[in-house]
Amino acid sequence: MTTTGTAGGTTPRRPAARQVVVSILTIDCGFDDNGRQTRQPRAKYDCNLCGQREGPVDGASAVIAFSASIRTDHPARCTARSSA
């Protein structure tokens, strides 16, 4: 792919760097049927490097705390990531 420069010439465009999904944080916001909570919020974290799943956790406050910290907590204890 090329782009047109200001002088009218073309410049080769560098392809995007390869991106890999290393983890997936899934949050289910639950379901509220006119004030009656029929499904609690829940969250889970899947690491594609070590294959571990953290959670699921249930309940609004647990989901908030889990989603705020898991993206830093899991990499610190992930067995597939080198810490050195």
Q: Which is nearer to Zn ion, 39 or 77 (CB)?
A: 77
Q: Is 50 an interacting residue with respect to Zn ion (CB under 5 A)?
A: yes
Contact status: 27 vs Zn ion (CB under 5 A)? no
The reply on whether position 64 binds Zn ion by CB under 5 A is no
Residues near Zn ion (CB under 5 A), total = 4
Kindly state the smallest distance separating residue 12's Cβ from Zn ion, in Å.
37
Cα separation, 32 vs 60, in Å, equals 12
Indicate whether 25 belongs to the interface with Zn ion (CB under 5 A).
no
Q: Distance between CA atoms of 48 and 10, rounded to whole angstroms?
A: 40
- At residue 19, the 3 state secondary structure works out as coil
